[in-house]
Amino acid sequence: MRFLTAIFILSLVVSCKSPEARYPVSQSSGSYINESVARNKKLLAQEEAQIEEIIKQDSANTYLSSNSGFYYYYNKRSEDSTNTERPEFGDIVVFDYQISTLDGRTIYAEGEKPTKEYAVDKEKLFSGLRDGIKLMKEGETVTFLFPSYKAYGYYGDKNKIGTNVPITTKVTLHSIEKEPNSESNN
């Protein structure tokens, strides 16, 4: 009987023990993330140097720097002083574009991609072009130089544009249709 009582008390003591945290079998030091950050910084520096070299060698165009991290110049600028409208969230824009590498090799020629109708910031479009269109006015043609992170990034376009390819995109904005419930229409 004492034996059973001792087992009973022992089982109570063991079962009342608080739960212990389980630890992973292997622990990561975060070195992979640190290596990835270093690799991406190096890639960005190389792409920016390549873009700066293009700008330095191109005396025919006046390049502007965007707040979003890319450069651009106007091929055709609106001379109409009454034309001040730029696309805003929800507006429908119609545009054509062509894409080439920074060294001028054509990836998508003019007309190869169909004329695009795009609801600003409501549909998918690579981030650089999404930001670039908002800098344009109706009737303008602009050439953008995008580092790969503002273009198609790590994944490419899964067709002709590979991993981490900086690109040049020439865009012609044909029309801007203001969103019907836009505050600027009131």
DSSP letters for the chain = -HHHHHHHHHHHHHHTSPPPPP--SS---SHHHHHHHHHHHHHHHHHHHHHHHHHHH--SS--EE-TTS-EEEEEE----TT------TT-EEEEEEEEEETTS-EEE-TTTSPPEEEETTTS---HHHHHHHTT--TT-EEEEEE-GGGTTTTTTTSSS--TT--EEEEEEEEEEE--TT-GGG-
pLDDT tens digits, 107-132: 999 888 889 999 999 999 999 999 99
pLDDT at 6: 63
CATH architecture entry for 41-79+87-179: Roll (3.10)
User: pLDDT tens digit string along 39-68?
Assistant: 999 999 999 999 999 999 999 999 999 999
Q: Please state the domain extents for the chain.
A: 41-79+87-179
Which tens digits make up the pLDDT trace of 82-104? 888 999 999 999 999 999 999 99
